[in-house]
Amino acid sequence: MLIVMEQSVPEERIAGVIEAIEAKGLRAHPIPGASRTAIGITGNQGPLDPAEFENLPGVVRAIPVTQPFKLVSREVKREDTIVKVGDCTIGGGAFCVIAGPCAVESERQTFAIAHRVKAAGAHMLRGGAFKPRTSPYSFQGLGREGLMILSRARRETGLPIVTEAVDTESVDLVAEHADVIQVGARNMQNFSLLRRVGRTKRPVMLKRGMSATIDELLMSAEYIAAEGNYNLFLCERGVRTFSNHARNTLDLSAIPAVRRLSHLPMIVDPSHGTGTRDKVPPLARAAVAVGSDGLMIEVHDNPDRALSDGPQSMYPDQFDALMADIRAIAPLVGRAV
Amino acid sequence: MLIVMEQSVPEERIAGVIEAIEAKGLRAHPIPGASRTAIGITGNQGPLDPAEFENLPGVVRAIPVTQPFKLVSREVKREDTIVKVGDCTIGGGAFCVIAGPCAVESERQTFAIAHRVKAAGAHMLRGGAFKPRTSPYSFQGLGREGLMILSRARRETGLPIVTEAVDTESVDLVAEHADVIQVGARNMQNFSLLRRVGRTKRPVMLKRGMSATIDELLMSAEYIAAEGNYNLFLCERGVRTFSNHARNTLDLSAIPAVRRLSHLPMIVDPSHGTGTRDKVPPLARAAVAVGSDGLMIEVHDNPDRALSDGPQSMYPDQFDALMADIRAIAPLVGRAV
Amino acid sequence: MLIVMEQSVPEERIAGVIEAIEAKGLRAHPIPGASRTAIGITGNQGPLDPAEFENLPGVVRAIPVTQPFKLVSREVKREDTIVKVGDCTIGGGAFCVIAGPCAVESERQTFAIAHRVKAAGAHMLRGGAFKPRTSPYSFQGLGREGLMILSRARRETGLPIVTEAVDTESVDLVAEHADVIQVGARNMQNFSLLRRVGRTKRPVMLKRGMSATIDELLMSAEYIAAEGNYNLFLCERGVRTFSNHARNTLDLSAIPAVRRLSHLPMIVDPSHGTGTRDKVPPLARAAVAVGSDGLMIEVHDNPDRALSDGPQSMYPDQFDALMADIRAIAPLVGRAV
Amino acid sequence: MLIVMEQSVPEERIAGVIEAIEAKGLRAHPIPGASRTAIGITGNQGPLDPAEFENLPGVVRAIPVTQPFKLVSREVKREDTIVKVGDCTIGGGAFCVIAGPCAVESERQTFAIAHRVKAAGAHMLRGGAFKPRTSPYSFQGLGREGLMILSRARRETGLPIVTEAVDTESVDLVAEHADVIQVGARNMQNFSLLRRVGRTKRPVMLKRGMSATIDELLMSAEYIAAEGNYNLFLCERGVRTFSNHARNTLDLSAIPAVRRLSHLPMIVDPSHGTGTRDKVPPLARAAVAVGSDGLMIEVHDNPDRALSDGPQSMYPDQFDALMADIRAIAPLVGRAV
């Protein structure tokens, strides 16, 4: 159920509705909008009766929400969510490019790449300090030391930092250093982690799981929003299919499908989505043209020596060329780079 | 094995090499190129020895071909194949838009749509006369009468016709009326049909099967080429996965993957690839940006009454808008509309 | 719509109902049952009104059929279909084992294997004379000569022959020599072929396509039944998924799913379903236990020299051991070997 | 690398080899076997030279391990692992049936079901106290209270308890009450959780992820073993494919595939594997026949009112009948129920 309040309604009216909701043993989620406030209700078993709420002072309408996800649904909030990260913007007509190495390997490497991607026009720096790896014997990231390097790279370049939290234990540490907390594909249904990042104040980027439907992705986003964190955007990174010419099958139809159902921005990761460097530029261009809100791209100054995901990392020169393509295509689909 | 001949070698030298190949019980496929002729050899069990051929007069080199597909492989022919259909071109920097109804339903409907898509800038007219349908009780197409309507629509509009042959029995009839014979996804491994269209002189469009790998698609193309028909291009139309927000999962990474392995042009069908009208324009734009050689789009003047695939057919006005997008994006990726 | 006739109704009553159906421009399919006859109606656009038929003399009830497949649906015919092939039976409590080489390679090989599988207890002999192969350069089968060898093998051993028809051109020739015509996975939606085998009088085995849903499989069976051939059984042979430890993913849940929806028997092909010899016995045992009506198994006397599918062909000794397992498990699930 | 020690070698020899391994900056994993001890080495970048270890006193051979997983690999340990849980055994010829409700809902419900499944012959009781749910608004389990109920159910019935740990925070609490800690499909690559359960002394059941390959499953098991916990078994529960007649596609070929690669026991969960009650018995029988080491089955005394997964929970009477089938089939494949 979504309660739509009158425009410019005084705060105490909102507080009164929240109180009434909580008195019924339900949970109220105020969602401030540009013109008016709405209040999402969750926690009900079965449908609620709109009449129970429409008589409360200040309420315009009570709208039943038919989707299993509510707070992230477009039924509940019609306008696009816009996530602000420092001077950068994700959603609402902006096109945001996040670039950097798969893993933070050293200060030298991180700074070198950060300067290169900034010069090329990237808006944020990505880099993994905690790496979820299929094998326990693979490089697992520099951990805390990696986060410190990222912090210093931000100081050096001004680029906000996107980095992954792989477990509840490291969320606070990551939140301290990161501008955007990434939840990776393998953790898309790690519900404890979702709740935990939902309780931070940091923007969150949630990646689609390898075999997740759009509904499941939005339900996972709902876990984060239900804890009060609406600074949230999604990332398509390819799904697992029989198709064997690429590491994953990048599902670009997810972009219009999500836009229809949800107000959350969604970017695309063609590096994981394809798994090989030569396929990243064409799929990155396609991701712009399909109407996504941004890209996340792996760039390495020496991919052949990268400690992880070398084959899918672009050379800096390739990235320069790609940024030129992005700048040309984005305006044609109503996006400002 | 591929035999590369000297530039401007006289015809009798080529004939001599062919004779030598056939004398060994193998099959020779002369492949005329812009600058020189090459001769593909097929029919061998196990590897051939280059030395057996390199001493023949006029031969520059004999190159073992490592891919299971040979004639359609880039190893065998480096330059892009360009397919000419009337005044239209597929491949080699052109961007070709094929549009029209899913099925030919009547002369009125076909002419109306043909005029609309021509006015919008489409290069060819699509329309099914023989329809492969999951149910024996669904509309199976107008058959011969549908082909006649298409012929008249070509006379009316000048647009070349693309239409499907669903079995060996109908190939001759289709070849008589069509400018391009379509082999559909369900028939991608109907090898008798492939051989049969390979023996016509008509250009062929081969669609990727619902769960075909790229290698299998190229092996099917090889069946056509092995019969002597090199006027051949491919079409990505989505594959079947767990993903349930679209009818199929459009696999745009197939475009760069095929380009690397084969000299054949490849277009994209976002209508079948998504299954709903509102997803066609974003995915069509993405298909331009990813570097494909064209699009095949279903357009209907009254989609809600279409006898097949109504929900994925665009309204003519939507198609006008899409053509404008295509014209804007194509030049950015080196394609002339 | 299904018309259920009174028990022991005279023939002219049945003829009268058929006439009434055809007078409405519909098609009537008499389905004789053990105790009474039913008449399926197809060809209607949209639902029919039962009242139109229930007043006809001899009619007990007119039942609307909700599934898109009708003649093969359990709604239309409650009792299991039993297919008789010589002395063998598929369905209705029998458990039928079809074994033999992937391809007929020579008389010597075929006879040797036929004698071995007969001695082990197989009920029918399989062997491909026409082989649908991914590559045009692979062994395509001995064709007519292969069929003659199979005919002679039947004379030698008494085993009925199961062999594949790959195109409409070869159906008559195959029907002349085969006891069961196989339609392969790649041809499951080759609708012309389905119609053509539907017009023969031979029993047909229809294999599930590599990415076909159960509904699509039953719709394809409906194509055959709609032509009047009800001597029809199905075969699960694995579907294509991301899973890479086997050639295909054998989907044994298809057996109870089909049994619920259709009266047609269904067997399992664990040779194609797994792709490696060592996985065939465990999956074959599982196929018995899940309640299928039979197995189709590739056996070769020299698998390492087989011209196709060697790695998945069992050694004759392994097949002996498997038959012992089958004989032990089948009675536990109500099947007589 | 695996170091094979002489039979009956004195402890100090083993200690000496471990010391030598650690002196090289590597990690030693002593693996006591029935007849002799082996020592796995992990932590190396690139291959090790066997000669470096074969001269140490007490060493018979140093064997390079080619699989990415080592401790769980059959190359490292040839004999089947046998996991002991109270009086129950998983692996080594035993067939273990774990049954119970999806979620612990109340003491009454849990006790009633526990008594019923014990009477039917189940060996352990399953029941979720912490439930990972797609929606934040679904019933998330009774938590600590659920664990207390399970503990009391064990006291009542003597059945060991299998229950899931969903995050690192709850592992200690779960380990206190559970006899087997379950790691669910969604957490198969929650590497922090894997490490954490690897540090408990409790047996662990690891479920295959929805789109995990066998290699990935074994790598996740390796995370647990690498922390020193070898009391470990696996569970196939269906994978996600295009196939839509069942909730998941149960991949029974995983059983022989894992057996070849690993010494770990593997059971099957046909309840999640199919998603509907009527498909559980046939697939459970198939799972016995394919050679698995056990079953996990959801049983509920009132499935239509179950708080989760009602449609896939069996009625107690159905479970009685299934146990009879299991007892009949298991001995035929060398398993003692």
Interface test with B, best of C29, C41, C137 (most B CBs within 10 A): C137
- Do C283 and C238 touch, CB atoms closer than 8 A? no
Please answer whether residues D316 and D279 qualify as being in contact, where contact means their C-beta atoms are separated by less than 8 angstroms: no
Nearest to C167 among B136, B168, B219 (CB): B168
Distance from the first to the final alpha carbon of chain B = 37
The superfamily in CATH containing domain C2-63 is: Phospho-2-dehydro-3-deoxyheptonate aldolase; domain 1 (3.30.70.1140)
> Which among D223, D187, D137, D174 has a CA at the least distance from the CA of A190?
D187
The residue behind tokens 């590559």 is C135
Mutation site for B-interface testing, chosen from C70, C191, C223, C251 by largest number of B Cβ within 10 Å: C191
The residue that leads in pLDDT, A154 or A27, is A154
Residue D6 C-alpha, separation from nearest chain B C-alpha, in angstroms: 48
Q: Please state, in angstroms and rounded to a whole number, the distance separating the CA atoms of residues B308 and A47.
A: 38
Residue A218 to residue D135: CA distance in whole angstroms: 9
Phi, psi at A321, each rounded to 5°:
-65, -40
Give the DSSP letter string of A309-334. -GGGPBPHHHHHHHHHHHHHHGGGGT
The predicted pLDDT at position A204 comes to: 98
Which phi and psi angles does A63 have, rounded to 5°?
-110, 120
Q: Residue C217: how many CA atoms within 13 Å on its side-chain side?
A: 34
Q: Looking at residue A64, what is its pLDDT? A: 80
The residues near D67 (Cβ < 8 Å, ≥ 6 apart) are D73, D75, D218, D261
Is the Cβ of A27 closer than 8 Å to some Cβ of chain D? no
CA nearest to C101, candidates C137, C135, C129? C129
C interface mutation test: which of B191, B227, B247 has the most C CBs within 10 A?
B191
**CB-nearest partner of A223 from D136, D167, D169:** D136
pLDDT at residue C52, as a whole number: 84
Of C68, C132, C211, the CB nearest to B191: C132
Question: D222 to chain A: nearest residue by CA?
Answer: A136
Question: pLDDT by residue (tens digit) across D50-85?
Answer: 888 888 888 988 888 777 888 899 988 889 999 999
To which residue do tokens 């269906």 refer?
D238
Position A3 scores a pLDDT of 87
Q: Is the pLDDT assigned to residue B295 strictly greater than 80?
A: yes
Count of Cβ atoms closer than 10 Å to residue B93 Cβ: 12
Q: For residue B248, give the chain D residue with the closest CA.
A: D242
Query: In chain A, positions 199-258, which contact chain D (CB-CB < 8 Å)?
Result: 210-211, 216, 219-220, 222-223, 226, 240
Q: What is the pLDDT along chain D (337 residues), one digit of tens a residue?
A: 888 888 888 888 999 999 999 988 888 888 766 667 788 888 877 778 888 888 888 898 888 877 788 889 998 888 999 999 999 999 999 999 999 999 999 999 999 999 999 999 999 999 999 999 888 888 889 999 999 999 999 999 999 999 999 999 999 999 999 999 999 999 999 999 999 999 998 999 999 999 999 999 999 999 999 888 999 999 999 999 999 999 999 999 999 999 999 999 999 999 999 999 999 999 999 999 999 999 999 999 988 888 888 889 999 999 999 999 999 999 999 999 9
Q: Do the Cβ atoms of D196 and D229 come closer than 8 Å?
A: no
Those chains having 3 or more beta-carbon pairs within 8 angstroms of chain D are: A, B, C
Nearest-angstrom CA–CA distance, D155 and D172:
20
Q: What pLDDT does C144 receive?
A: 96
Q: Are the beta carbons of A127 and A148 closer than 8 angstroms?
A: no
Task: Determine what percent of chain A is predicted with pLDDT higher than 90.
Answer: 73
Boundaries of CATH 3.30.70.1140 in chain D? 2-63
The C-alpha angle D174, D179, D182, rounded to 5 degrees, equals 60
Measure C241 CA to nearest chain D CA, in Å: 6
- Residue matched to tokens 């290069």: B123
Q: Return the residue of D nearest to B244 by Cα.
A: D242
CB B240 to CB D240 under 8 A?
no
Could you read off the pLDDT of A61-70 as tens digits, one per residue? 888 877 788 8
Residue B34 has pLDDT above 70, yes or no: no
Contact A240 C240 (CB under 8 A): no
> CA D114 to CA D333: how far, in whole Å?
28
Mean pLDDT of A243-257: 96
pLDDT score, position C33 = 65
Which is nearest to A104 in space by CA: A204, A177, A187? A177
pLDDT of residue B209: 97
Of D196, C120, D197, A333, the C-alpha closest to B281 is A333
B63 phi/psi in degrees, rounded to 5: -110, 120
H/E element, C226: helix C214-226
- B230 confidence band (pLDDT: 50, 70, 90): very high
Confidence of residue C28 (pLDDT cuts 50, 70, 90): confident
Sequence-distant (≥ 6) Cβ neighbours of residue B108 within 8 angstroms: none
Q: CB contacts < 8 Å between A and C, how many?
A: 7
What's the pLDDT at D68?
81
Q: H/E element holding A112?
A: helix A107-120
Lowest mean pLDDT among A9-18, B2-11, C276-285, D121-130: B2-11
Task: Give the tens place of pLDDT for each residue, A207-221.
Answer: 999 999 999 999 999
Is the CB of C192 less than 8 angstroms away from the CB of B222? no
Q: Indicate the DSSP class of residue A291.
A: T
Q: What is the dihedral of CA C109, C115, C116, C117, to 10 degrees?
A: 100
Residue ranges, comma separated, of all CATH 3.20.20.70 domains in chain C are 83-333
Residue D239 is nearest to which of C241, C282, C285, comparing CB atoms? C241
* D273 φ, ψ (degrees, to nearest 5): -65, -20
Helix (H) or strand (E) holding D168: helix D168-177
Mean pLDDT value across residues B309-316: 90
Which carries the bigger pLDDT value, residue C61 or residue C99?
C99
Kindly list the residues from chain A whose CB atom is less than 8 angstroms away from the CB atom of residue D26: none
Question: Which residue, among D95, D96, D91, D73, has the nearest Cα to D260 in the 3D structure?
Answer: D73
Interface contact C289-D285, CB threshold 8 A:
yes
Calculate what percentage of chain A has a pLDDT beyond 70: 99
Question: What are D1's two structure tokens?
Answer: 């690398």
> Using CA atoms, how far apart are residues B330 and B336, in angstroms rounded to an integer?
6
Residues A144-173 as b/e (b if ≥16 CB within 10 A, e otherwise) read eebbebbeebbeebebbbbbbbbbbbbbee
What is the residue-averaged pLDDT of chain B?
Answer: 93
Closest residue on chain D to B211 (Cα)? D242
pLDDT (0 to 100) of residue C172: 96
Superfamily of domain C83-333: Aldolase class I (3.20.20.70)
Across the range C85-94, mean pLDDT stands at: 95
The C-alpha of D101 sits at a distance from chain C's nearest C-alpha, in angstroms, of 22
Helix or strand (DSSP H, E) at C63? strand C59-63
Burial class (CB in 10 A: 0-12, 13-18, 19+), C19: exposed
Rounded Cα distance, C20 and C1, in Å: 14
Q: Which amino acid would we find at residue D19?
A: E
Residue whose C-alpha is closest to residue C226's, from C65, C83, C40, C32: C40
Nearest in space to B191 (alpha carbons), one of B214, B164, B224: B224
Query: Who has greater pLDDT, C44 or C95?
Result: C95
**Chain B residues closer than 8 Å to A325 by CB:** 332-333
> Worst-scoring range by mean pLDDT, A155-169, B82-96, D132-146?
D132-146
CB B286 within 8 A of CB B294: no
Q: Is B325 left (phi over 0), alpha (psi -120 to 50) or beta?
A: alpha
Average the pLDDT over B70-78 and give the result. Answer: 88
Which of B43, B187, B193 is nearest residue C137 as measured by Cβ atoms?
B43
CA atoms within 13 A on the CB side of A335: 26
Beta strands in chain B (DSSP E): 2-5, 27-32, 37-42, 59-63, 83-85, 88-90, 96-100, 124-126, 161-164, 180-183, 204-207, 232-236, 266-268, 294-298
ipTM of the complex: 0.89
